[in-house]
Structure 1
Amino acid sequence: MGAVGGENSRMRIGLLGAGPWARKVHGPAIAAHPRWSAGGVWARRPAAAAEVVAVSGGPVHASVDDLIDACDAVAFAVPPAVQAELLERVVNAGKHVVLEKPLAADLPAAERAAAAVAASGVRSATMLTLRFDPAIRAWLDAVPAGAGGPGTTATARWLSGALLGGPFAASSWRAEHGALLDVGPHVVDLLDAALGPVVDVDHAHRDEPDLWRIGLVHDGGARSSVVLSLRVPVDPTEFEVALVGGLGADGRGRYVLDRRQADAVACFGALLDDLADAIGSGADLPVDAARALHLQRVIDRIVRAVG
């Protein structure tokens, strides 16, 4: 297999899945990346896989094992339950992985998946898109150390009409679980990164069809309030994270994030850079499978708090 280096030694990354995210994000990012080459695509429907390779390059593989054998790393673009089912096979073959969030459809499956990655010794990265946006990275860097104390409160909202129409409205797992499983990991991850680990869920309520109101407690005493929905008729998406009080570094005690700088293709490209660096150094990424498991544990607490 390849090694991270010059033009003729790029590593090969294959893609499992051929949904809208694979066509619009993974495929273009892989095709454009200077450090990776396309290892091809496997999907349940070969015709769908062919649509992706028309963008990404590489062959359509007849089986999952064929794709694994052809690649140094595998990116997942499949539903959470399928990702958890296939992940152990991929990492046991020594392949590095790019994971989607959530890690699995439920916590027990996520725990098994994360354990398999840890035991294999491969590098892993989770596609927490916002964490690879340079503007959001700068915002997180600006939040002062110790911001997660009891004097800090945070609010976060992600309101979208994504499940009312468009390419993701037909996704069965998104339709079943709504915003919590889809965008919830992104929001929990940002709050957790800014204010310290989430250690408890103070309250959680879901109004049908898909409006979530959640209260989180961080280990330093800070508290966060979250509102999520993918069934609100708004366009563009309403997105904001605000940290207030007890911050002090800029004299205002307020840090607000309300926009992204990079699109998802650029963010996936940045992830591939970080993964290549991690493979070269042997270091774990901050957004690895263990991070995905932590987020899934918080999501599970929220589900249980709703009852």
Structure 2
Amino acid sequence: MCGVDQLRVGLVGGGPWARNVHGPGLAAHPATEITAVWTRRPEVAGELAAEFGGRACDRLDDLLDDVDVVAFAVPPQVQGPLAVRAAAAGRHLICEKPLAGSVEDARAVVTAVQRAGVHSSMVLTLRHSPAVREWLAGLPSAPAGPDTVASARWLSGALLGGPYSASSWRIEHGALLDLSPHVIDLLEAAVGPVASVGWAHHDEPDLWRYGLVHEGGARSTVTMSMRLPIDPTETEFAVFGPGTPHRLAGRTADASTCYAALLDELVAAVAGTGPTPALGVERGLRLQELIEQVRATAG
């Protein structure tokens, strides 16, 4: 620990999410301090260190020697192997979604975390949103029965322009890999664990539609795209069943507020004053397995 009650955090990555969410969030939280920064471009690491604190490191190992927690803001295919190294070094993890570039690599991260006995948190911002938590608290207890249906709609033009439109992994995989972790996670929280993928279709432009069967018998449908000329983004989650329909629409998650709540949970877990974060890398693996089932079903 650094100072009286501060966790020393290493920031890995220098893209928009690192600059706009991880960096400001870690610097502002009273129980965390950025002590090291590493990116593949030294000049970017220097810029982030100057803005948010800490020292720019030439090597990842240098960062690992100087921190308690590693916060990743890198593509999934990069995050997987680096997260394994960080966990093996005994460092707690803050991981982006999706967890890794493949299910196999995601399993390796979970194994490394479990072996090391460290804590981890996935940046599933929706689940840390006060509005989303209030919505979930108003739903009947999951798993819902066969008399319940749910739906999720997430339509945006994020890949047509803006800070994330040049992201190679988003360009390649689109909404399936970027949005599905949020969508499936929230649907499982709302109506219960997914038992199977009933059907899936993929059409251009980056239009994904799929149906999920949940363990209690409830069914849900998902429609999403990141390549539609829509601004602002359109989102809606809904649950229809016994009682009044429950809808959650529009902008429900401020990234900075959600990230602060994530840090609250992780800090408490590391300090021993709170439980292990529920949305750790095990959750990331579960979501990645389900996304691969959707991809396989779509063909």
TM-score normalised per structure 1: 0.94
1:170 matches 2:174: no
1:295 matches 2:291: no
- Report if aligned partners of 1:143, 1:255 keep a CA contact under 8 Å in 2: yes
1:132 matches 2:128: yes
1:235 corresponds to which residue? 231
Q: Which runs of 5+ in 1 are unaligned?
A: none
Change (3 A) 1:191 1:261: closer
Query: Which residue, out of 297, 302, 305, partners 2:297?
Result: 305
1:278 matches 2:269: yes
In structure 1, give the amino acid aligned to 2:270: I
Distance 2:271 2:139 in 1: 30
Q: Deviations over 1:70-105 (max 9, x none)?
A: 100001100001111111110011110001100111
**Cα drift, residue 53 of structure 1:** 2.3
1:88 corresponds to which residue? 84
- Report if aligned partners of 2:234, 2:250 keep a CA contact under 8 Å in 1: no
Query: Which residue, out of 71, 74, 80, partners 1:75?
Result: 71
Aligned length: 298
Q: Deviations over 1:21-62 (max 9, x none)?
A: 000111111111111111221000012222322332111111
1:157 matches 2:157: no
Structure 2 counterparts to residues 104-143 of structure 1, below 5 A: 104-143=100-139
Change (3 A) 1:146 1:174: closer
Q: Deviations over 1:214-253 (max 9, x none)?
A: 101110000000011110111110010000013x2xxx2x
Q: Deviations over 1:127-185 (max 9, x none)?
A: 00111111111111111114611110011011111100111011000000000100110
SS state at 1:12 partner: strand
Structure 2 counterparts to residues 44-59 of structure 1, below 5 A: 44-59=40-55
Query: Which residue, out of 190, 200, 203, partners 2:199?
Result: 203
2:33 corresponds to which residue? 37
**Cα drift, residue 261 of structure 1:** 4.6
**Cα drift, residue 283 of structure 1:** 3.0
Distance 1:209 1:105 in 2: 23
In structure 2, give the amino acid aligned to 1:160: S
- Report if aligned partners of 1:160, 1:233 keep a CA contact under 8 Å in 2: yes
2:182 corresponds to which residue? 186
In structure 1, give the amino acid aligned to 2:197: V
Structure 2 counterparts to residues 19-30 of structure 1, below 5 A: 19-30=15-26
1:258 corresponds to which residue? 249
SS state at 1:269 partner: helix
Distance 1:22 1:206 in 2: 30
SS state at 1:70 partner: coil
Change (3 A) 1:114 1:147: closer
Distance 1:57 1:258 in 2: 37
Farther off after superposition, 189-198 or 42-51: 42-51
- Report if aligned partners of 2:37, 2:54 keep a CA contact under 8 Å in 1: yes
**Cα drift, residue 262 of structure 1:** 4.4
SS state at 1:178 partner: helix
Q: Which runs of 5+ in 2 are unaligned?
A: none
**Cα drift, residue 266 of structure 1:** 1.8
Distance 1:262 1:300 in 2: 26
Farther off after superposition, 278-287 or 190-199: 278-287
- Report if aligned partners of 1:23, 1:51 keep a CA contact under 8 Å in 2: no
SS state at 2:297 partner: helix
Note the aligned Cα RMSD (angstroms): 1.3
